[in-house]
Structure 1
Amino acid sequence: MTMPHERTRAVVQTHDFLIELARDASLPERIRRDARFLLRHYPSRRDMVLAGRIEENAETLPIGALGPVFSSTFTQ
């Protein structure tokens, strides 16, 4: 089972990878354009930390019934 900090790390690393793809001039324009398109609505590192904090502090809210999905801390 994936732990919240592992899930958060995977999302952050995917964001970083999409940035690399978008900036890599050796790749076809279509790949770079698709990466930029995906990044438009992909959560940033700050978004992920905020989501983790909200979930970790949502003990009294029904959204926390299954436990947190994301974590406010992660290691790379």
Structure 2
Amino acid sequence: MTMPHERTRSVIHTRNFLVELSRDPSLPERIRSNAKLLLHHYPTRDDMVTAGRIEEQSNSLAGLLGPIFSSPIDE
């Protein structure tokens, strides 16, 4: 089972990977363009931390699912 901090870290690392792809001149332009397009709507590290904080403070979700994301990030 994936823990909230692991899920959050994975999303952040995936964004970093997309940034690397978008800037790598050795890759075809199509790959770099696709990575840039995905980044337009991909959450930032700050977005993920904020989402984690909101979920951790929400009493309505605590009984049902618990948080999906986490504000503390172990990198």
Shorter-chain TM-score bucket reads over 0.9
The alignment of Structure 1 onto Structure 2 pairs a total of residues equal to 74
**Whole-Å separation in 2 of the counterparts to 1:18 and 1:45:** 13
- Counterpart amino acid of residue 43 in structure 1: P
* 2:33 corresponding residue in structure 1: 33
- Name the TM-score, length of structure 1 as normaliser: 0.93
* Structure 1 unaligned blocks of 5 or more: none
Q: Deviation above 6 Å: which 4+ runs of structure 1?
A: none
* 1:68 corresponding residue in structure 2: 67
Q: Secondary structure at the match of 2:72?
A: coil
Question: How many Å apart are 1:75 and its aligned residue?
Answer: 1.4
**Whole-Å separation in 2 of the counterparts to 1:29 and 1:75:** 34
Question: How many Å apart are 1:36 and its aligned residue?
Answer: 0.3
Aligned pairs for 1:1-76 (under 5 A) are 1-59=1-59, 61=60, 63-64=61-62, 65-76=64-75
* Structure 2 unaligned blocks of 5 or more: none
Q: Secondary structure at the match of 2:31?
A: helix
Q: Secondary structure at the match of 2:71?
A: coil
**Whole-Å separation in 2 of the counterparts to 1:45 and 1:24:** 21
